[in-house]
Amino acid sequence: MEAKTDKIWLDGKLVDWDKAQIHILTHTLHYGWGVFEGIRCYHCHNGSSAIFRLKEHVDRLFDSAHIVGIKIPFTREEIFSAILETFRINRLKEGYIRPIVFVGDGEMGIYVKKVDVRVAIAVWSWGAYLGDEGLAKGIRAKVSSFTRLQVSSQMTKAKVCGNYVNSILAKREIIAAGYDEAILLDTEGYVSEASGENIFMVKNGIIKTSPLTSILPGITRDSVITIAKDKGCQLIEERFTRDELYLADEAFFSGTAAEITPIREVDDRQIGPGHPGPVTKDIQATFFDAVKGKVDKYKGWLARL
């Protein structure tokens, strides 16, 4: 159980954590037609707190809803303020924020005439998703037997509830096999991304990441690209293969939950020296400075509480 907080924002009102309940015939529960976001708030070095790239997350929530044809009954400004308000009222210094847009109860079946769109925002305290040790020393990844969603059958650029069965199958498979995170290939066999993170590799000083075709356009991915380019690194968005990844000097995952997590092994092959390399460590350090308000040029990424 995630540590309970006081209030959850539900359809425009703050309700008690225990009272934020929905009916068993909630449409999204049955068919997965809903969208969500994952956002983090960090405790800054000066004692205040700030939500990282809140505007981009709210925009992506609306983009996801647009892609699957759900109309959110609030404006972007209302959701932006509601997220800030929900975080403030729960008096956390840092934590995770989960807005979800879902279709309520009243009608069953794939097609519903009257679409009752509901919105909830929950916050809770959440540490390193792949573990503190993973952040420091790197994790062991494995390529899953499950392929990343095919672009013609699922909408890969949206955080759609139902899409995550694919991630869950991949993740459960590799955890059962004794690894930490799953890498999914696209339908042509190129590396796409992980179960909930984007992927980067470094070879001879050049950083590569999968292009925005079959992957979720990560906001952390975008932050990494900006940070790397600002440092003068050469970065290309280009497909790469599993064996190219085996021969990388460094590799890492990026995501709101996983932050910047180094990869020390893929399919039992050690990556580089088997511990986080200099490029990964440098980008990771700047990322954590940026989210905590220590880097002036990235202060525009922060929404103060």
Ligand X SMILES: *Cc1c(COP(=O)(O)O)cnc(C)c1O
Catalytic residues: 159
Q: How far apart are CA 140 and CA 125, in angstroms?
A: 25
User: Binder to ligand X among 103, 161, 216, 266 (CB under 6 A)?
Assistant: 216
Q: How far is the CB of 98 from ligand X (least distance, A)?
A: 11
Q: How far apart are CA 294 and CA 287, in angstroms?
A: 10
User: Binder to ligand X among 134, 196, 262, 276 (CB under 6 A)?
Assistant: 196
| Strands 35-36, 7-10: pairing kind | unpaired
User: Binder to ligand X among 220, 261, 280, 286 (CB under 6 A)?
Assistant: 220
User: Binder to ligand X among 95, 138, 255, 277 (CB under 6 A)?
Assistant: 255
**Three-state secondary structure call for residue 18:** helix
Does residue 256 interact with ligand X by CB under 6 A? yes
Kindly compute the dihedral angle of the four CA atoms of residues 16, 19, 22, 28, in this order, to the nearest 10 degrees: 30
Half-sphere exposure of 223 (CA within 13 A, CB side): 31
Q: Which is nearer to ligand X, 183 or 248 (CB)?
A: 183
By CB under 6 A, the residues from 8 to 47 that bind ligand X are 38
By CB under 6 A, the residues from 110 to 169 that bind ligand X are 159
Does residue 221 interact with ligand X by CB under 6 A? yes
Residue 79, token pair as written in the block = 């959701």
> What is the H or E stretch that residue 155 is in?
none
- Binding range to ligand X, per CB under 6 A, among 61-69, 73-81, 212-220, 295-303: 212-220
Does residue 265 interact with ligand X by CB under 6 A? no
Whether the CB-CB separation of 177 and 205 falls below 8 Å is answered with no
Residue 14, token pair as written in the block = 């703050």
Residue with the two structure tokens 């690894």: 179
Q: How far is the CB of 13 from ligand X (least distance, A)?
A: 27
Does residue 64 interact with ligand X by CB under 6 A? no
Contacts to ligand X by CB under 6 A: 38, 159, 193, 196-198, 216, 218-221, 254-256
